[in-house]
């Protein structure tokens, strides 16, 4: 705010802001841009059982999409895997958005007292006091063939025999993801909702809008930034996941993360790098589309 001394440099640009930004820029350059470039470069390399061969080859990309132009025998591995991952991603996104929005709406508009609201909000975060892996694995004894849920169902006579679809299935994977990631939607949506001017809701009511119309024309448009941010979290996390899908899906459900992990473990780094580049491209595309729909920066 104070008047700065006139800049004496010939370029005529102040140097202080550049210096202030330099540490972050350097960190990002070193730990984000550089590894990303390295991944892209390695994806063009060749490899053998025991070594990486610096080269410019399209082998990794060609092998990745091998047989993908031929649909007579169904989808090729890569398309099949992406489809499987995208499908899970879509289901998880829909469910977490629904739950996240519902919980945030309840907290923001139905709880009158700030104290109660904050207390309930903290309750939502309580599961995060344990590790990600434990929250996921604790489902196993519940959902197993001889698990608590099946014992209950069989015991009460609701079903004749244990239900296999409860575990190592799409259901269990989605359940675990929803459990893990709903909060990532709840928080930004809640944040957006708390910033909505309450007079707008009153105005809507005075103008004769029903509850549904208020939600549709006032609340949802104003919480879009929160929804988009939450969606980005969920989509990025699910697209890259291989642990949750592996454990809850009994390793039987394909995911891109798993493919990359297998390739890494066989020292096929270039092939894994190529997969990573394609995955990154796809996720960036999804995010680009979402941010095109809503200008987050303007909305924030």
- 47 pairs with which residues across the strands? 52
Considering beta carbons, is residue 41 or 76 the nearer one to another protein? Answer: 76
- The DSSP element (H or E) to which 26 belongs, if any, is helix 16-28
Segment interacting with another protein (CB under 8 A) among 29-37, 90-98, 201-209, 248-256? 248-256
The candidate with the shortest Cα–Cα distance to 183, out of 142, 126, 124, is 124
Please select the residue that binds another protein; options are 41, 91, 140, 236, rule is CB under 8 A. 140
How much is the CA Rg of the chain, to the nearest whole Å?
25
CB of 144 to another protein, least distance (A): 5
Site of tokens 């499987």 = 84
What the block records as the tokens of 242 is 């291989």
Is there binding between residue 145 and another protein (CB under 8 A)? yes
Is there binding between residue 264 and another protein (CB under 8 A)? yes
Angle (deg, nearest 10), helices 220-240 and 269-293: 180
Is there binding between residue 77 and another protein (CB under 8 A)? yes
Q: Calculate the CA 102 to chain-centre distance.
A: 19
1 three-class SS = coil
The candidate with the shortest Cα–Cα distance to 60, out of 200, 246, 263, is 263
In contact, 152 and 69? CB cutoff 8 Å? no
Segment interacting with another protein (CB under 8 A) among 31-39, 204-212, 220-228, 255-263? 255-263
Is there binding between residue 265 and another protein (CB under 8 A)? yes
- Say how many C-beta atoms besides its own lie within 10 A of residue 157's C-beta: 7
CB of 77 to another protein, least distance (A): 4
One symbol per residue from 100 to 139: x for binding another protein (CB under 8 A), - otherwise; what is it? ----------------------------------------
Please select the residue that binds another protein; options are 8, 9, 13, 50, rule is CB under 8 A. 50
Please select the residue that binds another protein; options are 43, 88, 144, 174, rule is CB under 8 A. 144
- Say how many C-beta atoms besides its own lie within 10 A of residue 220's C-beta: 13
Please select the residue that binds another protein; options are 4, 11, 24, 49, rule is CB under 8 A. 49
Is there binding between residue 180 and another protein (CB under 8 A)? no
- The DSSP element (H or E) to which 42 belongs, if any, is helix 34-42
Region 201-220 residues binding another protein, contact defined as CB under 8 A = none
CB of 72 to another protein, least distance (A): 16
Is there binding between residue 44 and another protein (CB under 8 A)? no
Angstrom distance (rounded) from CA 227 to CA 221: 10
Please select the residue that binds another protein; options are 36, 68, 262, 293, rule is CB under 8 A. 262
Angstrom distance (rounded) from CA 64 to CA 47: 14
Considering beta carbons, is residue 114 or 146 the nearer one to another protein? Answer: 146
How do 52-53 and 46-47 pair as beta strands?
A: antiparallel
Please select the residue that binds another protein; options are 266, 284, 285, 295, rule is CB under 8 A. 266
The residue ranges that bind another protein (CB under 8 A) are 49-51, 63, 66, 77, 80-81, 84, 140-141, 144-147, 164, 167-168, 246, 249-254, 258-259, 262-268
């Amino acid at each position: 705010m104070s008047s700065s001394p006139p800049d004496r440099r010939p370029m005529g640009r102040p140097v202080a802001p550049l210096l202030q930004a330099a540490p972050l820029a350097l960190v990002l350059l070193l730990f984000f841009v550089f590894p990303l470039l390295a991944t892209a470069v390695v994806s063009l390399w060749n490899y053998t059982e025991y070594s990486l061969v610096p080269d410019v080859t399209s082998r990794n990309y060609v092998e990745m999409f091998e047989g993908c132009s031929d649909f007579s025998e169904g989808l090729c591995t890569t398309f099949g895997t992406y489809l499987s991952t995208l499908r899970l991603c879509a289901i998880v996104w829909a469910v977490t958005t629904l739950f996240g929005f519902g919980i945030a709406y309840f907290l923001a508009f139905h709880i009158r007292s700030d104290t109660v609201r904050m207390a309930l909000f903290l309750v939502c975060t309580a599961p995060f006091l344990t590790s990600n892996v434990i929250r996921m694995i604790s489902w196993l004894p519940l959902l197993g063939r001889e698990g608590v849920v099946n014992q209950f169902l069989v015991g009460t006579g609701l079903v004749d025999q244990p239900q296999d679809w409860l575990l190592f299935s799409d259901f269990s994977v989605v359940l675990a993801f929803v459990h893990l990631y709903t909060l990532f939607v709840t928080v930004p949506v809640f944040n957006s909702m708390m910033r909505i001017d309450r007079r707008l809701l009153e105005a809507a009511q005075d103008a004769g809008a029903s509850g549904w119309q208020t939600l549709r024309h006032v609340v949802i448009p104003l919480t879009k930034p929160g929804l988009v941010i939450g969606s980005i979290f969920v989509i990025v996390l699910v697209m890259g996941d291989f642990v949750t899908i592996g454990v809850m899906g009994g390793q039987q459900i394909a995911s891109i993360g798993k493919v990359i992990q297998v390739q890494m473990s066989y020292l096929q780094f270039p092939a894994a790098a190529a997969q990573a580049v394609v995955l990154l491209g796809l996720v960036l595309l999804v995010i680009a589309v979402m941010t095109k729909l809503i200008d987050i920066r303007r909305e924030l």
